[in-house]
Amino acid sequence: MTLLAVQLLNGFQLGMLLFLVAAGLTLVFGVMNFVNLAHGVQYMLGAYLGVTCASLAGGFWLGLLLAAMAAGAFGLALEWLIFRHLYARSDLDQVLATFGIIVTLNEAVRLLWGSAPLELPMPDLLSGSFMLMDGLRYPVYRIAITAVGLLVGLALAFLVNRTRAGMLIRAGASNPDMVNALGVDIRRLFRLVFGIGAMLAGFAGVLAAPLVSVEPGMGENVLILAFVVIVIGGIGSIRGAFIAAILVGLVDTVGRTMITDLSHAVLSGQAASRLGPALASMLIYLVMAAVLAWRPAGLFPART
Amino acid sequence: MKLPLAIFALLALVPILSALGVPLGGFVPLLLGRVMIFAIAAMSLDLILGIGGLASFGHAAPLAIGAYAVAILDAANIHDAVIVVPVAMAAAGFFATATGAVALRTRGVNFIMITLAFAQMIYFAAASLADYGGDDGYTLYSRTTVLGAKLLDGKAFYPTVLVVLFLVWLKLRIIAASRFGRTLSAIRQNRPRAQALGFNAFAVELAAMAIASALCALAGVLLANEAEFVSPAFASWARSGDLMVMVILGGVGSLHGAILGAFAVVMAEEALGRLTQHWPLLFGPSLVLAVLFLRRGIAGIGGRRD
């Protein structure tokens, strides 16, 4: 029972981290119809910049702020330099060009920071743990990530649903040409959305840095999960991304332990310990396939 | 027709030259052999991506299925292509039919992502095959023979691969020109109209996926033999990305463009890799530039704009 509680909390925490990455991705995708495989690179850059900024600025918090801003600025620079020339192109061209950017930036990071994994120490304020139940302590830091994710989710929901900019974003997601025809500078809207998305992904990267090892290529695993999230949630929908992120986070962590237990119960020892991990890794993809088979446009598509 | 034949003529020149005693070293045939194997995989992807407009981001999956068919049969001490090739192609065709039936319900980006998801499943499934090395991969006991003849070994390897490449190219050209191929192309151009004409778009696309997958498994069989090794990395998403790059870089829908794309990618890896260990720093930007400025791929250079 206690194990399940820990798994649930871990699942939520992973879900929140995924949400931070997926939120920007789904907006960029939904509003601009732009397939940005390089979004995971922002997450990786966030983590690396976090490590560097924290050591330069002498603290996690200033590092977090600087790194998130730098990642956002870098995203905007990429948008200006390359991506804006790709909006009118096919999905395939966008996939290829952003794939090229992943290849480039992974190597650039390796060149600048080396291939060895780096570490970012947790901030002292959050490095403790608290008593969850008798004999079970849970790290404060993971709870903090979950809380931050929830806050960002609420802030984004407010931005998208209650403000003028959000209204334009929603309108842009459902019919960009019409928004443009009505006199809104859609390019500026794109840049705003892109900047926010890039910054959130970088922010998520810094937050994750104390929990994972910071290394080249760390963005891709998260990117694939984030794509699973937005495809399940329905492209362009913040609400969909939020719910799907929690779903994927929970399925991945809780499912992992449950499948292993379950396969041990059903099968003999050796077969179970082989089949379990494979099934567990496949689980989220199975969920995704099931959701798409049931609702091909995802759970909450922005465009109907 | 001139360019594809010129490509095959150039490829055929290599074994002829080395038979005449021109010192090419072991490196050139090895490298071009690799190019041709990836060209087979990329060409099969071009059938669904270029002609069918189905952007599969999971084409490394049938490649890995073909390779693992070799490994699994190798462990069972079965080495002959008479069994290995049909098993590999049938398994990959079955995989594509089963996953395609789900994937084809989606369009656009969702299709890209769901094919990626299915390929990831193959990746993790391969990593869990403890009997065949799991994560570490599996080293073959012996190469595949063709009716007992060692056609995939030593000096015979290159010509065999060249023949397979040529046959696959011919087959795909015939398919593209057939009623089936033109229907597939019509569905890409205007799905509702094709359906209104009475074509079963779903069935045609599913069949195309199965054919492309089965042909790609052939490349997987060759790749396993070339490396004498099979690992889950054969199904990695970066490999799927590479295959897509080859097709798009070479020129979508042209078939022989995939050979040029495979050449460009393998050469970029090997040649730039010899130049500097940081070769991706050159390769990545050239991809971006190719997308921005080479709109019809390498095969389209010098051609008229339409």
Q: What is the pLDDT of residues B130-152, one digit of tens each?
A: 788 888 889 988 888 888 888 88
Give the C-alpha separation, A65 to A56, whole Å.
13
Geometric angle at alpha carbon A19, from A13 and A20, rounded to 5°: 100
> Could you tell me if residue A286 is inside a domain?
yes
Encode pLDDT of A44-90 as tens digits: 999 999 999 888 877 888 888 899 999 999 999 999 999 988 888 88
Structure tokens that stand for A213 in this block? 């090892």
Q: Which residue of chain B is at minimal alpha-carbon distance from A221?
A: B237
Cβ-based contacts of A91 with chain B (< 8 Å): 55, 108-109, 112
A102 assigned to some structural domain = yes
Looking at residue A1, what is its pLDDT?
67
Name the average pLDDT for chain A: 86
Is the pLDDT at A234 greater than 70, yes or no?
yes
Mean pLDDT of B113-139: 87
Which residue, chain included where needed, has tokens 């990831």?
B120
Average pLDDT over residues A272-286: 77
Range among A77-91, B80-94, B111-125 rated most confident: B80-94
Whichever domain contains A234, its CATH number is 1.10.3470
Q: What's the total number of domains in chain A?
A: 1
Q: Does A289 touch chain B (CB under 8 A)?
A: yes
Q: Does A114 touch chain B (CB under 8 A)?
A: no
Helix, strand, coil: what percent of chain B each, to 5?
Answer: 75, 5, 20
B182 touches chain A (CB under 8 A): no
Closest C-alpha to B6, from B262, B256, B264, B295: B256
Average pLDDT over residues A276-304: 81
Q: Would an 8 Å CB–CB cutoff place B235 in contact with chain A?
A: no
- The pLDDT of residue A18 is 92
Indicate the average pLDDT of chain B.
89
In this prediction, the answer to ipTM > 0.95 reads no
Query: pLDDT, tens digit, for every residue of B21-53?
Result: 777 777 788 889 999 999 999 999 999 999 999
Residue A157 has what pLDDT?
87
Q: Is the pLDDT of residue B271 over 80?
A: no
Q: Which residues of B touch A115 (CB under 8 A)?
A: none
According to the model, what pLDDT value does residue B195 have? 93
Structure confidence at residue A303 (pLDDT):
61
Cβ atoms within 10 Å of A268's Cβ, excluding its own: 9
* Nearest residue in A to B295, CA atom: A93
Identify whether A230 is part of a domain: yes
Report strand pairing: B229-230 vs B138-139: antiparallel
Distance from CA of B304 to the nearest CA of A (A): 20
What is the longest distance spanned by two Cα atoms in chain A? 67
Residues of B within 8 A of A95 (CB-CB) are: 55, 57, 112, 241, 244
Percent of chain B whose pLDDT exceeds 90: 51
B174 lies within 8 A of chain A by CB: no
Q: What pLDDT was estimated at residue A299? A: 87
Give A131's DSSP letter. E
Residue A231: domain span: 2-294
Q: Is B284 on the interface with A (CB under 8 A)?
A: yes
Tokens standing for A13? Answer: 């925490």
Whether A302 maps to a domain, the answer reads no
The predicted pLDDT at position B94 comes to 96
Short-list A229, A204, A220, A223, CA closest to A284: A229
Query: What span, in angstroms and rounded, lies between the C-alpha atoms of B257 and B259?
Result: 5
Contacts of B113 in chain A (CB under 8 A): 227-228, 231, 288
User: Rounded distance, CA B290 to CA B295, Å?
Assistant: 7
The answer as to whether A301 is a domain residue is no
Q: What is the CA radius of gyration of chain A?
A: 20
Q: Which one of A19-33, A37-51, A170-184 scores highest in mean pLDDT?
A: A37-51
Residues of chain A positioned with their CB less than 8 A from the CB of B237 = 220, 224
Which residues of B fall within a CB distance of 8 Å from A107?
Answer: 278-281, 284
Q: Which residue has the higher pLDDT, B221 or A184?
A: B221
Q: What is the band of A120 on the pLDDT scale with cuts at 50, 70, 90? A: confident
pLDDT at A31: 77
For chain B, list the domains and their CATH numbers. 2-300 (1.10.3470)
pLDDT higher than threshold 90 for residue B15: no
Angle (CA) B34 B35 B41, round 5°: 95
* Residue A304 forms part of a structural domain: no
Contact B284 A231 (CB under 8 A): no
In B, minimum Cα distance to A103 occurs at: B284
Please indicate whether, in this complex, the C-beta atoms of B284 and A298 are within 8 angstroms of each other: no
Q: Which residues contact residue A295 at a Cβ distance below 8 angstroms, ignoring those fewer than 6 apart?
A: none
Instruction: Compute the nearest-CA separation of B57 from chain A (Å).
Output: 10
CB atoms within 10 A of CB A182: 11
Provide long-range contacts, Cβ within 8 A and 24+ apart, for B12-16. B12/B162, B14/B158, B15/B155, B15/B158, B15/B159, B15/B162
Chain B residues near residue A110 by CB distance under 8 angstroms:
278
CA distance A205 to B300: 41
Tell me the C-alpha distance between A71 and A63, whole Å.
12
